[in-house]
C-alpha cells in the first residue's frame, strides 16, 4: 500500500507514523511523509518556548532526528519511508499527489488553511471534496482500534466508503462494528440493507445495527460519543449522488468538532 502522510504538528509525528505502519502492511509498503510548511512562519514546526520561536539552527536537528526515527522504524517493519519537508504546496498539488496514493492520513485537528498555498482560503472541506482517494483523519492517542462505525444512508456512495475501508483494513474483521443507518426516501433501501447485512457478515464477525430517524445530526453525534476508546467513523458525505445522500459535509465537521473519533472519508 502507498500512503501519503501529512505532517503539520511535530507532536503527532510518531503516532501518525505508527498508525500508518499498521495500515501499510509488511510487503512493499511505502509511506511518503509530507512535512507541510506553515504559511505564516518561515519554517515548519516552529515551537514556542518562553514566548519565542525556535531559530532555524534549533529546529533542523529535531526535524532530522524525527525523520531518522521514522525511516528506521518503518524499515524495521519492512516499509519504505520517504520524507519531504519544508514543502510549500498548493491545494491542487496536494490533491494531485493524493490521486496516486491508496490513502491519505492526517491529524484530525489540522487546519489546512494554515499550510496550503492558495488564492482563497483552503479548508479541510476542499480537500475532502476533491480528493481522489480515501482520507483517514486520525485522533492521536496511541490506543488500539476498539470500534468501527459505518454510516449508511441508502446511497451507493455510502456503500462505496464502507467497501473502501474494508479493503484497506482487512486486519480489522474482528473489531466490533456498529452500522448506523438512517431512513431515506429510496424505494430500494430495505432491499439494499439486506444486501449490506449479507456483505458485512462476510467481512466482520461482530456487528450491531442502529437506526436513526429524526434529528440525524444530533443522533449521529450521540451514537458516536457513546463509545469510548479509539473509534473510527466511516462516512461518505461528498461526491456524486448528492440528491440521494442524507449524510452531508456538515455531519463530517460536526464529528470533527464535537467527537473524539477518527474519521475515514471516501466517495465515488
* Residue 35 pLDDT: 85
> How much is the pTM?
0.85
Cβ-Cβ contacts under 8 Å for 195 (sequence gap 6 or more): none
> Which CATH architecture is the domain 2-138 placed in?
3-Layer(aba) Sandwich (3.40)
What one-character DSSP code corresponds to residue 138? E
* Residue 125 pLDDT: 61
Nearest partner of 176 among 198, 209, 151, 219, judged by Cα: 209
**pLDDT in tens for each of the 268 residues of the chain?**
899 998 887 778 888 888 888 777 666 789 999 888 777 654 444 443 334 445 444 556 677 888 899 999 999 988 999 998 766 788 888 888 888 999 999 888 887 777 777 655 556 666 666 778 899 999 877 788 999 999 998 888 889 999 999 999 988 999 999 999 887 777 777 888 899 999 999 999 999 999 887 678 888 889 999 998 999 999 886 655 544 445 556 788 888 889 999 999 987 7
Strand order in the sheet with 29-36: 79-87, 29-36, 2-7, 103-107, 135-138, 262-265, 230-235, 145-152, 177-182, 207-212
Distance between CA 268 and CA 266 in Å, rounded? 7
Q: What angle do CA 233, 249, 87 make, to 5 degrees?
A: 85
> Are 40 and 3 a contacting pair, CB within 8 Å?
no
Nearest partner of 32 among 8, 3, 70, judged by Cα: 3
Nearest partner of 216 among 134, 267, 154, judged by Cα: 154
**What would the grid cell of residue 91 be?**
491545494
Domain spanning 145-265: which superfamily? HUPs (3.40.50.620)
Which residues in the chain are classed under CATH 3.40.50.620? 2-138, 145-265
**What would the grid cell of residue 1 be?**
500500500
* Residue 193 pLDDT: 87
Amino acid at each position: 500500500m502507498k500512503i501519503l502522510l501529512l505532517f503539520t504538528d511535530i507532536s503527532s509525528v510518531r503516532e501518525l507514523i505508527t498508525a500508518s505502519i499498521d495500515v501499510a502492511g509488511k510487503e512493499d509498503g511505502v509511506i511518503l511523509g509530507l512535512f507541510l510548511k506553515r504559511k505564516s512562519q518561515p519554517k515548519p514546526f516552529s515551537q514556542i518556548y518562553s514566548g519565542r520561536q525556535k531559530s532555524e539552527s534549533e529546529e533542523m536537528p529535531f526535524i532530522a532526528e524525527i525523520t531518522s526515527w521514522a525511516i528506521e522504524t518503518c524499515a524495521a517493519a519492512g516499509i519504505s519511508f520517504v520524507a519531504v519537508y519544508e514543502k510549500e504546496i498548493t491545494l491542487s498539488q496536494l490533491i494531485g499527489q493524493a490521486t496516486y496514493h491508496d490513502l491519505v492520513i492526517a491529524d484530525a485537528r489540522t487546519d489546512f488553511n494554515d499550510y496550503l498555498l492558495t488564492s482563497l482560503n483552503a479548508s479541510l472541506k476542499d480537500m475532502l471534496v476533491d480528493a481522489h482517494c480515501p482520507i483517514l483523519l486520525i485522533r492521536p492517542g496511541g490506543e488500539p482500534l476498539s470500534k468501527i462505525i459505518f454510516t449508511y444512508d441508502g446511497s451507493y456512495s455510502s456503500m462505496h466508503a464502507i467497501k473502501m475501508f474494508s479493503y484497506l483494513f482487512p486486519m480489522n474483521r474482528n473489531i466490533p462494528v456498529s452500522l448506523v443507518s438512517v431512513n431515506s426516501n429510496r424505494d430500494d433501501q430495505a432491499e439494499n440493507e439486506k444486501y449490506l447485512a449479507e456483505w458485512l457478515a462476510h467481512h466482520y464477525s461482530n456487528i450491531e445495527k442502529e437506526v436513526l430517524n429524526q434529528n440525524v445530526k444530533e443522533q449521529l453525534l450521540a451514537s458516536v460519543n457513546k463509545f469510548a476508546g479509539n473509534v473510527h467513523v466511516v462516512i461518505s458525505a461528498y461526491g456524486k449522488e448528492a440528491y440521494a445522500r442524507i449524510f452531508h459535509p456538515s455531519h463530517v465537521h460536526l464529528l470533527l468538532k464535537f467527537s473524539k473519533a477518527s474519521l475515514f472519508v471516501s466517495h465515488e
